[in-house]
Structure 1
Amino acid sequence: MNKESVGIVETKYLQIEEPIDLDSGETIDEVTVAYETYGELNKEKSNAILICHALTGDAHAAGWHDGDKKPGWWEIVIGPGKALDTEKYFIICSNVLGGCKGTTGPSSINPKTGKEYGLDFPVITIADMVKVQKKLVEAFGIDQLVAVIGGSMGGMQVLEWMVSYPTMMKKAIPIATAAMSSPQQIAFNAVGRQSIFSDPHWKGGNYYESGVIPRNGLSLARMIAHITYLSDESMDIKFGRGLQDKDEISYDFSVDFQVESYLKHQGETFVKRFDANSYLYITKAVDLFDLSVNDSLIDGLKDVEAKVQVLSVDSDWLYPTEQSTDIVTALNANNVDVSFSEIKSNYGHDAFLLEKGQLNYLFANFLSENVVEDLMMENIATIKADADVVEAAKLMLDKHVTHIPVVTDENKLIGIVTSWDLSKSIATNSNRLTDIMTTTVKYCNAGDTIEEIARHMRKFDISCLPVVDEDMVVLGLITTDQISNLLS
């Protein structure tokens, strides 16, 4: 365990007392949510980031459970000094509704029968999952998240958060995902479900009492799905046509190739940690996901308010880049502040779990918030209201500036004079500064974010703003040129 890890962690549980109304019209009366947190929630409760896991993930995103041989599934980006810095942010990750890692799902006990739900569990949607996550966030007393971040099905949850609760996050990062499941994606999930249905041990979902799980069906479903998470290049690099534990082909139906052995191992490992019914329900939720309204993604994303960074992977053929750029296009059509980057990787879809360098770089740059204080000019020229126009003109020439705040003896802002005002004084034959200066001054504070100020300056077509404290004392100036240089 290194100093960049959050160390030993444990999964906690929230009991939601009130019923959860689902998209299907059904209701779940009691829901338990398994979750983990990393870092400390600040006094203002303003530093929280929600992480959404992928199809077969869980709440254990970082750190180590006591006795574990490997850390949480996103250890590469969560921890001290990483992009999701636990010395700065309070990170939350929960197991989704319908899961089998502590949150209520088909393997949970149905309070009405005292037995596992099985197929009595209602069909759920991504929106239902997000509704439960919102309950968890609210339980911490958090009104607004710094960001919601997730990849694959986790990215779908991020998109659903953007649409269903647009004011509850400042930023959003959907990764390697889509705003609606494509026919190909639905097809792969359908084949996986059929492999479970065809296993005689599935028994219509009622296999819990027998103690014999539909191992073969679930293993095959995982093998099929895992192929879609890789790329042709990554499989060629990792396996090629290498033989497994033999020097020559056996000419029977035993495992010959390394790639066969690998997929078999993935399937066998998966059945030890996942529930077959959960797999059915969660893949169905992914299939049902569609944020378009009247066949229009633009209409579906019209209420988004968060600043968004959409990420795709160039070698991902399960959720290809085109599906991410469709999201970007729809957000742009709604004047949402959105950026897009394509991760370069030969890992395929799994790159969002593996590309440590690119993910940390992209997340850190997007999440960092420069404030006015970081950028403003200090020790600036000011002038008193009883000065004349000639004095103001000389000061501008001497200091090579176009804006001078007008202040009181206590250096409090009462106006501003610009080079345009001086031009106006010649046309109006004005000599006194009070005749030409602007007294209804727009200003900003040192703690305002650059994003907010840039929008403000754009809205009012302002090229320079005085920076003041709570007593209106002038601290400095910030210009559009400074902001442009930062952004570039």
Structure 2
Amino acid sequence: MLQKIEILNFKLENGKVLTKTPLFYQTFGQPIGNAPIVIVNHALTGNSYVTGENGWWNDLIGIDKIIDTNNFTIIAFDIPGNGFDGNPENLITNYKDFTAKDIASIFLEGINVLKIESVFALIGGSLGGGIAWEMANLQPDKFQNLIPIATDWKASDWVIANVLVQDQILNNSDNPIVDARLHAMLLYRTPQSFKKKFNRNKKADLNDFQIENWLVNHGLKLQNRFKLAAYKLMNHLLKTIDITKETNDFAVSARKISANIHIVSVDTDYFFIPDENRETFEILEPIKQNVFYHEIKSIHGHDAFLIEFDQLAQILEPIFNKQKHQNYVNA
């Protein structure tokens, strides 16, 4: 069930003040205070509905799943303005006012309102993982485990470039959400993934290739779920990820994070490329003992974190081991 927290007089990174910010969220599993807390940050087109009927991470979160709702309290916040409450325009006047750090700060405000002192795991994929990096940087002792998946602690030049292309489409196309989604899916999948799925097959009784129909349908589905203002905001946030704004030095910023850091990349990711994550691990390994690198092997590219559930479950299982927490008692 969607719940709401009102955050008053929130100051954005650019200095503007939001008098009232609605933060929507959902909880799953055990009541708050009865079990270890897991915060799940959704990706660009996701929302707080992480498990249950049509939950987007049902393969990982639920009864007897890796993140077991019998043993954990799962909390998922909606990025303010994502429109999951049906009213993105209530918040967005200028989508470029917001940064990933602002969203991270708003989420942390929500955690404080819920009186949560410690979080067992903070996990997120893509944009959600970038926001997770920002949250851990802002409150480095709040989280026991930081698990950023198919993401990075900063927007690379490649990400920034593609955000610009998306922004241009969203502001200049006659059919902005559909057209932007067509382009985005070419970043989220790979040529090998498309070949395996479609193999140049055509739609029955039509001259259209199946890949064309699939892409257009993806665009139309997103258009039905997203308002333009919300999609512009989500896209823009990607290019603002950067935990080094204060230090200009990743090692300095990341060293203070006390959490175990589990970096999960995808070997064929064309968006948040694995080379960047390997470089991050190489920087951290000499200065931080509790940092770990994991890599999903897949032909599917960036979206593998939403497809390769068996591999992701194997990576996460040692972190979310049921036996470790079955006798949890709130202090």
- TM-score, normalized by the shorter chain, greater than 0.5: yes
The answer as to whether partners of 2:134 and 2:241 remain within 8 angstroms in 1 is no
Extract unaligned runs of 5+ from structure 1: 1-9, 65-70, 111-116, 201-215, 250-255, 372-446, 448-488
Q: Output the CA distance in 2 between the equivalents of 1:94 and 1:336.
A: 30
Moved more, 314-323 or 295-304: 295-304
TM-score normalised to the size of structure 1? 0.63
Q: Output the CA distance in 1 between the equivalents of 2:119 and 2:31.
A: 11
Aligned to 1:290: 242
Larger relative contact order (CA 8 Å, sep ≥ 6): 2
The answer as to whether partners of 2:41 and 2:129 remain within 8 angstroms in 1 is yes
TM-score normalised to the size of structure 2? 0.91
Change (3 A) 1:33 1:273: same
Establish whether residue 98 from structure 1 lines up as the match of residue 81 from structure 2: yes
Out of 237, 240, 248, the position equivalent to 2:199 is: 240
Out of 28, 37, 61, the position equivalent to 1:48 is: 37
Change (3 A) 1:359 1:314: same
Out of 157, 162, 165, the position equivalent to 1:183 is: 157
Change (3 A) 1:104 1:22: farther
Q: Output the CA distance in 2 between the equivalents of 1:38 and 1:311.
A: 24
Quote the offset at 1:122 in angstroms. Answer: 6.0
Q: Output the CA distance in 2 between the equivalents of 1:98 and 1:285.
A: 11
Aligned to 1:14: 5
The answer as to whether partners of 1:61 and 1:72 remain within 8 angstroms in 2 is yes
How far does the alpha carbon of each residue in 1:49-97 deviate from its partner, in whole angstroms, 9 at most, with x for none? 0000111211111102xxxxxx111111001111110000000011112
How far does the alpha carbon of each residue in 1:130-156 deviate from its partner, in whole angstroms, 9 at most, with x for none? 111112222221100001001111110
Choose 1 or 2 for highest CA Rg: 1
Aligned to 1:218: 177
Aligned to 2:313: 360
How far does the alpha carbon of each residue in 1:447-474 deviate from its partner, in whole angstroms, 9 at most, with x for none? 9xxxxxxxxxxxxxxxxxxxxxxxxxxx
Q: Output the CA distance in 2 between the equivalents of 1:146 and 1:227.
A: 35
How far does the alpha carbon of each residue in 1:179-224 deviate from its partner, in whole angstroms, 9 at most, with x for none? 2112221222211111121146xxxxxxxxxxxxxxx111101111
Q: Which amino acid aligns with 1:299?
A: V
How far does the alpha carbon of each residue in 1:118-173 deviate from its partner, in whole angstroms, 9 at most, with x for none? 43x66111111111111222222110000100111111011112211111111111
Aligned to 1:307: 260
Q: Output the CA distance in 2 between the equivalents of 1:365 and 1:62.
A: 21
Change (3 A) 1:330 1:161: farther
What is the aligned residue count?
325
Percent of paired sites with the same residue: 26
Quote the offset at 1:30 in angstroms. Answer: 0.5
- Map 1:110-149 to 2 at 5 A: 117-119=92-94, 123-149=97-123
Change (3 A) 1:141 1:176: same
How far does the alpha carbon of each residue in 1:421-470 deviate from its partner, in whole angstroms, 9 at most, with x for none? xxxxxxxxxxxxxxxxxxxxxxxxxx9xxxxxxxxxxxxxxxxxxxxxxx
Aligned to 1:276: 228
Change (3 A) 1:51 1:272: same
Change (3 A) 1:84 1:236: same
Q: Which amino acid aligns with 1:11?
A: L
Aligned to 1:85: 68
Extract unaligned runs of 5+ from structure 2: none
Out of 36, 39, 43, the position equivalent to 2:26 is: 36
The answer as to whether partners of 1:22 and 1:124 remain within 8 angstroms in 2 is yes
- Secondary structure of the equivalent of 1:148? strand
Q: Which amino acid aligns with 1:259?
A: I
- Secondary structure of the equivalent of 2:262? strand
Q: Output the CA distance in 2 between the equivalents of 1:192 and 1:123.
A: 17
